[in-house]
Amino acid sequence: MRGGLRIVGGASVMGMREVTISGQMIRLGQLLKLVGLAASGAEAKALLGRGEVRVNGESESRRGRQLLRGDIVRCAGEELRVV
């Protein structure tokens, strides 16, 4: 567990990886680090700055974007659903 957040499950559903969070929400930068798509906040910011991250089908540039259960994040060929 890191900062009150944890991945409870990492199940893959039809090519989509489900990431279970313990709180009400998780910030996008935290999610990218938690699942290993970014090693640091600076790396997450760089991914976002290059337009490599989509949330619910739309390009996202804000590292602090709040993600809620049901949100879908696409980055680096991976698709993640927050549950």
Token pair recorded at residue 55: 């949330």
pLDDT in tens, 44-63: 999 999 999 999 999 999 99
Fold that domain 12-82 belongs to in CATH: 3.10.290
DSSP 8: -
Q: For position 72, what pLDDT does the model report?
A: 98
Q: Can you spell out the DSSP letters for 25-75?
A: EEEHHHHHHHTTS-SSHHHHHHHHHTT-EEETTEE---TT-EEETT-EEEE
Distance from C-alpha of 52 to C-alpha of 37, rounded to nearest angstrom:
11
If you average pLDDT over residues 27-41, what whole number do you get?
97
